[in-house]
Chains A and B, each alone.
Chain A
Amino acid sequence: MIELKDIVKVFDTPTGPVEVLKKVSLSIRQGEIFGVIGRSGAGKSTLVRCVNALERPTSGAVFVGGVEISRLDGAALRAARRDIGMIFQHFNLLSSRTVFDNVALPLEIAGKSKAEIQQTVAPLLDLVGLADRADRYPAQLSGGQKQRVGIARALALKPKVLLCDEATSALDPETTKSILALLKDINLKLGLTVVLITHEMNVIKELCDRVAVMDHGAAVEVGEVFEVFSDPQSEAAQTLVRDVLNHDLPQEAARRLRPGNPPGTNPVIRITFTGPSATTPVVAELARDVGVDVNILHGHIDYIQGRPYGVLTAELSGGDAAVQAAFAHILGKSLKLEVLGHVAGND
């Protein structure tokens, strides 16, 4: 649906040219919710703005539905943009227009008749749950309601693609949830391809099918959200994942860790449960069948796209032989095992 090929973007600044995008290539499929995540300044906003040519790449090509939008101009570009809806962090609603007239704006711009506008806007306001606010002005709405108007407006011309530029970053967590649910609903109902950029890993976790992790202008990791969460490869992805999943050792336990494997110490291990193995009662098995003592230091289970994902940090004790047997048992269950370090047994 959307192809970005070797996108390079250089901005001229007073201090010299800055390369914001460094040969980014992405392929976004029809009907999926694709997330782009990165710290501010990673280039994600510039990237998404290349999709509707609000920004022109310095080199590279952008295809939307087979059309090279990065080459279009004038009337052809305006026509192509009507197939791409966009919502914004600060909503960008016209303060001088009512909710109804804001949603009607793209239809007016496309030259639709009054009757057609009337017919299109009312069901859209229903869809976003604002039918009773049609005559209000944006200043009379809450942030969440404003974004709902933004969504209705973006859908007015029945686009094939919806671009979301930090659409929930100005909203509180509760409102963010409801907006994300609405986006999911729209994605399913209308079969819309959604490209969402955010700096919040939670948004990606809740909503997206696939994700691209941006770092310093490059897409350092692209994949299924579950894969990126459960097994992040790049440093940028690992940092982002750590922020939401928070499977770092508690400080107290980290303080006791000793490097190497001095005699008389116990290993501290981290077991990662993903997919089907997430339901394995491994702790009980270790204690009962292998005969090691498992002292749980930290652990939690999360659901990413409905699939369980758990992390458990524990200290094993009971002698070298038992510990080795325990490692073998864990690996035999095809669980991911990491030894984080050792702690003195009597510490």
Chain B
Amino acid sequence: MSPAMIDLLWQGLLETLQMVGISGLLATLLGVPLGVLLVVTGPGHILPHRTVNAVVGVISNIVRSTPFIILLVAIIPVTRLIVGTSIGTAAAIVPLTLAAIPFVGRLTEAALREVDAGLIEAAQAMGATPLQIVVKVLLPEALSSVVAGLTITIVSLINYSAMAGAVGGGGLGDIGIRYGYQRFLPEVMITVIVILIILVQAVQTVGDRLARRLNKRVKG
């Protein structure tokens, strides 16, 4: 493989890391609160609100059911509004984030629902406010599962980022399609796939280890 190709792959890796890293971070910051909102406004929870719950639920389902490649082009005007351009790595981060928010939201929702209702009741009996219940009980108790959910999200983002080439986002997936497939350079294709496998493995391993360390429900 030529030094130029190695350089290209290195650039692609950095772009992938940039896209996944930033969109993963933003999706966490926005998706976790979304998950909290979905849980606490649910029937019988600490802040039940049928309308808010239904509206937020439907919107997040609409985003989740739109195929990513369509979402990518459909929201180009929004992307231009936010980052000033509709092409390039920065432009790819907007749709990646948007797709990941409801994903994180639903995984967080599932994690928070696992928290024993007795704990919420105990906190209420202590005179806790709804915010205190979320911050001191729900999130810490569900943290291990939330981290497991975020690991899944990041792996999915690595996957989705391969489509970012459609808006000139670059990244490893884009190199794989343009060089490996369209120019028929199988060694490039294989290298891209191997790097992605290593990346996904690394993310999963770190995520699993972190989730295990945060889980105090087992002895040890």
Contacts and interface: CB of A to CB of B under 8 A. Distances in A.
B183 interface: no
B127 interface: yes
Nearest to A157: B126
Nearest to A108: B136
A95 B217 contact: yes
Given A137-B216, A139-B218, A82 B127 contact: yes
A206 to B, nearest CB: 25
Contacts of B216: 95-97, 137-139
A84 B125 contact: yes
Contacts of B129: 78, 109
A166 to B, nearest CB: 12
B219 A140 contact: yes
A171 B144 CA distance: 29
A291 interface: no
B137 interface: yes
Given A95-B141, A137-B216, A139-B217, A105 B118 contact: no
B140 interface: yes
Contacts of B218: 139
Given A88-B118, A92-B118, A137-B216, A54 B140 contact: no
Nearest to A52: B125
A296 interface: no
A101 to B, nearest CB: 10
Q: How large is the interface on A (under 10, 10 to 19, 20 to 34, 35 or more residues)?
A: 20 to 34
Contact of B128 (A80, A84, A90, A109): A109
B141 A82 contact: no
A79 interface: yes
A86 interface: yes
B123 interface: yes
A110 interface: yes
Interface in A96-147: 96-97, 105-106, 108-110, 137-140
Nearest to B137: A94
Nearest to B217: A95
Contacts of B116: 90, 92
B122 interface: yes
Given A81-B126, A109-B136, A94 B219 contact: no
Contacts of B136: 105, 108-109
A335 to B, nearest CB: 47
Contacts of B132: 109
A82 B126 contact: yes
Residue from B118, B124, B125, B132 with most neighbouring chain A CB atoms (10 Å): B125
A81 B124 contact: yes
Contact of A106 (B118, B126, B143, B214): B126
Given A92-B118, A137-B216, A86 B141 contact: no
Given A94-B137, A94-B140, A54 B125 contact: yes
Nearest to B139: A96
B141 A94 contact: yes
A92 B124 CA distance: 12
Interface string B112-153: 000010110111111111001000110011010000000000
A77 B124 CA distance: 10
Nearest to A156: B126
Interface string A267-300: 0000000000000000000000000000000000
A52 B116 CA distance: 20
Q: Which 7 A-B pairs have the closest CB atoms?
A: A78-B127, A92-B122, A81-B127, A92-B118, A106-B126, A86-B125, A96-B140
Given A54-B125, A86-B125, 19 more contacts: A78-B127, A78-B129, A81-B126, A82-B127, A88-B122, A92-B118, A92-B119, A92-B122, A95-B217, A96-B141, A97-B140, A105-B123, A106-B126, A108-B136, A109-B123, A109-B126, A109-B132, A138-B216, A157-B126
